[in-house]
Structure 1
């Protein structure tokens, strides 16, 4: 994981997040390695898990409200059972200084990503005062495109694609795949304009 410069405000956020995720700390360590693709099979596990979940949602064929209720029940169940299982499998002696350091890195990474996303949203909305034409052109174009795509493609499939991309993005960034692709594009021969 990249090193993050942590401000005093972010330090408070990290402490709050560590307290909030206390029961999940033993589960977060293997999740970190899966999300960052530390093994070659991790991207396949992510795609397989997301595919299984969305296939189940598709097979149940529930209406929207029932789907949200089932997802909420599932998340509540997981939030209850994971700390219970982690506490029963791993005692307090299993938590080492290295684990604590990794847990701190995960929390810093989550806080930094959250703050970066919030900053991007604030920058977009600040366009409303600084450049209202650009703001309305971007927002209307984005909303029209979103409405067109959502009416053309099945919503469950769109959520599947969005979930898969969101879960694969940290691994792509960690492995530098996106930078490699950009480098390859920049190294491609440029076409010469003939006069």
Structure 2
């Protein structure tokens, strides 16, 4: 991520010390330049601005090229998916659980689809053919029916902005997939033995799991559990709100694990105070953001971590030893890794933030 120093302008010979403009090279940690308006936040990294001595201009030029390429790919995808705009916005609302009845509705639809597949028991060729046929029908009918159902004249600026964010996230996801594919081939060229052993062991493990568990049941569990991780959805909402520079974010549904995770984050000043609102349904949480948070996420599956292994996980998940925290669930409750070390206890890793 690249950012432009707010103090760099004509008539000013540089920027103030301690206001970073580009720290994306630090272990892939996203950065934000300067202070957010009205907040006395400073980045923990002291990196000079890109236009000063110490960081070459080519680095900023490379970041600009990458940003321009991302914008061009996003615009191209928006043009291709313009007929799907209303459907994508509705699907986004459902997947983000904006209504209390969306989670059980998702479970019901997914369960119904898998029950139909189980009842019909189609062959592989029939199943693939029906799936492709369904995609072709959707590709033809959705652009025609969507404007009549949702109303194309009701398209607002806020909807256009959200549609742009969805397309941008899709482009970034595609880039990550291509990046992992290229890394795999790089590993094959540089370390063929490690590549061979990794592929053989991984595929053998997948084959063993597929032999032990019914494939349809396994697929159903994966399809349901991917969207039923409320903690992952909550932290993703916080991440997205921070990237857009928002001061507050609404999280729903509410759960005890989310509340305790947020308490740990608030304890260390990475978020502000939060309010739990009882709406007589699933509940919701309003979180005040401070601009200090760079990234947060969950670790799935939840690995058992002993006290002696905390330092290894700390090196893997956090950018430095003095920056960020790992959150664990232990027999003494949910706490950060430093408190777990003081209490000489291990547990399961829930997630991290820095």
1:86 aligns with 2:152: no
Mapped to 2, the partners of 1:172 and 1:121 lie a distance apart of 29
- After TM superposition, the structure 1 stretch with the greater mean CA deviation from structure 2, 158-167 or 68-77, is 158-167
Mapped to 2, the partners of 1:139 and 1:75 lie a distance apart of 32
Structure with bigger gyration radius: 2
Aligned to 1:145: 205
Mapped to 1, the partners of 2:152 and 2:345 lie a distance apart of 63
Task: Note the C-alpha offset of 1:191.
Answer: 4.3
Is the Cα contact below 8 Å between 2:231 and 2:298 reproduced in 1?
Answer: no
Alignment RMSD (CA, Å): 2.9
TM-score when normalising by structure 1: 0.82
Q: Per residue, is there more helix in 1 or in 2?
A: 1
Q: Secondary structure of the residue that 2:328 maps to in structure 1?
A: helix
1:65 aligns with 2:65: no
Mapped to 2, the partners of 1:168 and 1:125 lie a distance apart of 33
TM-score when normalising by structure 2: 0.48
Mapped to 1, the partners of 2:345 and 2:149 lie a distance apart of 61
Number of equivalenced pairs: 189
Aligned to 2:81: 21
- After TM superposition, the structure 1 stretch with the greater mean CA deviation from structure 2, 100-109 or 143-152, is 143-152
In structure 1, runs of 5+ residues without a counterpart are none
Task: Note the C-alpha offset of 1:101.
Answer: 0.6
Mapped to 1, the partners of 2:224 and 2:182 lie a distance apart of 26
Aligned to 2:6: none
Task: Note the C-alpha offset of 1:12.
Answer: 2.1
CA offset digits 1:48-70 (Å, max 9, x no partner): 22111111111111111111122
- Asked which structure has the greater RCO (Cα within 8 Å, sep 6+), the reply is 1
Q: Per residue, is there more strand in 1 or in 2?
A: 2
Mapped to 1, the partners of 2:125 and 2:227 lie a distance apart of 24
Aligned to 1:184: 328
Aligned to 2:68: 8
In structure 2, runs of 5+ residues without a counterpart are 1-29, 32-62, 236-257, 259-296, 303-325, 330-336, 347-354
Mapped to 2, the partners of 1:172 and 1:114 lie a distance apart of 24
Is the Cα contact below 8 Å between 2:74 and 2:171 reproduced in 1?
Answer: yes
Matches of residues 1-195 of structure 1 in structure 2 within 5 Å? 7-168=67-228, 173-176=232-235, 179=298, 183-185=327-329, 186=337, 188=340, 189-191=343-345
CA offset digits 1:66-98 (Å, max 9, x no partner): 111222222222333322221112343211111
